[in-house]
Chain A
Amino acid sequence: MEVTSIQDGIIIDHVPAGTALKVLDYLSINPASTKLALIMNTDSHRYGTKDIIKIEDPDTAIDLDVLGLVARSATVDVIHGGRIVDKMTPTLPERVVNVITCVNPRCVTTTEPGIDQVFYLDRTDGEAYRCRYCDEEAEF
């Protein structure tokens, strides 16, 4: 499968297979109004399969914290004039505010008005995000 190279924009590579649309959603990139190519479930040496997102837009900015949250294996290539000018890897943020929502129906965030959805990175048993209020693990 061949997709033309982009001139100015970014390539998000090594996105977990099948999750590219979800990643775009979390990054607040609207596929209905952005010039982009999605390659899904393609071969990957490292992971077996992967998704790739190519965005042709020099002004696109990626929130690496949010990317780390939903696709921690992803890598980002910044392209100018058809060449890679920068490579970035997402970081795992210690704290995430109003990006994900607690799924625990018993959590106070489901009823308390005006409350921020705050998650913290818990490293005690692997790396998981937990709700600051009820400690429930985040689901993506």
Chain B
Amino acid sequence: MHSHTPAEQSMVGMSVITLDDLSVANITTLLNKARYIDTHRREVAHTCDGRVLATLFYEPSTRTRLSFETAMLRLGGQVIGFAGAQLASVTKGESISDTLKTVSNYVDVVAIRHPKEGAALVAAEAASVPVINAGDGGHMHPTQTLADLATLQSRFGRVNDLTIGLCGDLTFGRTVHSLIETLCRFGNVRFILISPKELRTPQYVLNRINATPSCSYEEVSDLTSVIGDLDALYMTRVQKERFFNEDDYLRLRDTYILDEAKLALAKPDMAVLHPLPRVNEIAKDVDNDPRAAYFEQVKNGMLMRMALESSVLGDTLPGFDAFENKEVAA
């Protein structure tokens, strides 16, 4: 008979709106589960038999929605939902609260994406089943950060004792802020923040690093001068509309494009991450380099969503206990 560990037990029935809802122990459990799921696909294929996930996507995000849906299907559950608010009763003016109170009667777990910041919290308060935030405007997107962590974990076997470069738009990139804040909770990370001066990391994020004695940061504007020090490089897009004038954009754009020439200066086992979709910030020739980890990140996103969906439902992954005990013993 399986008994939940405290870290597992505390996730049962939980809504995940921000990563602050999860303890470091919870996140570690999810990382272990994702790793187990990856190598035991057949064993976990009936974990969520009879369960139904609703994907309520008030704005289109095909990749995220497919990831949530595939995760549930691969656990043996089923999926309902809508994508694009024009199809839903929203067009008739129904509130998020009312929609969630209704949908809670149909399903066991909800993934919601909404253009308004804070929408997922409104949903979680109205719902009687767990709600997972699949992105609420520019606010939070916790499962993206879980995918980032799982990728570091799979490449290095750990998410700390690393030098991590974050490159590009560090002002507006929510994925970057969320990743930094979460890594600070694990500790022992050296951040190299690589951006033009117009797009530097906000002070509140730097304060978070400063408040973590085992973490440190360095702000630079040149990628090539630091790439050789990095264990992982997290790329983000430098968007044209973030600049006041075209000249600055054109001058800086190429500095933050990763290509094989820049990659030649990096460590042979450095991992390149990107939240995707990319536009031109990573040259296509990098895709074939073994250091490119961004498509692996997509897979890890699905595995982490499988881990999260089964965990909030309280559904035990068959064989995971023994696997974890063996890991601890080893």
Contact = CB atoms under 8 A, between A and B. Distances in A.
Interface in B109-130: 114-119, 121-122
Contact of B114 (A104, A108, A113): A108
Contacts of A131: 118
B137 interface: yes
Interface residues on A, range: 10 to 19
Contacts of B95: 112-114
Interface residues of B, number: 20
Contacts of A115: 97, 122
A125 B118 contact: no
Nearest to A122: B204
A132 B119 CA distance: 11
A33 interface: no
Contacts, number: 55
Contact of A133 (B97, B115, B122, B138): B122
Interface string B132-163: 00001111000000000000000000000000
A108 B136 contact: yes
A107 interface: yes
Given A112-B95, A112-B96, A112-B122, A107 B116 contact: yes
A119 B119 CA distance: 15
A124 interface: yes
A109 B118 contact: yes
A46 interface: no
Interface of B: 95-97, 114-119, 121-122, 136-139, 203-204, 207-208, 211
23 contacts: A106-B116, A106-B138, A107-B118, A108-B116, A108-B118, A108-B119, A108-B121, A108-B122, A111-B116, A112-B95, A112-B96, A112-B122, A115-B122, A124-B208, A125-B203, A125-B204, A125-B207, A132-B118, A132-B121, A133-B119, A134-B137, A135-B118, A136-B117
Interface of A: 104, 106-115, 124-125, 131-136
Given A106-B117, A124-B208, A134-B118, 5 more contacts: A108-B118, A108-B136, A124-B207, A132-B121, A133-B117
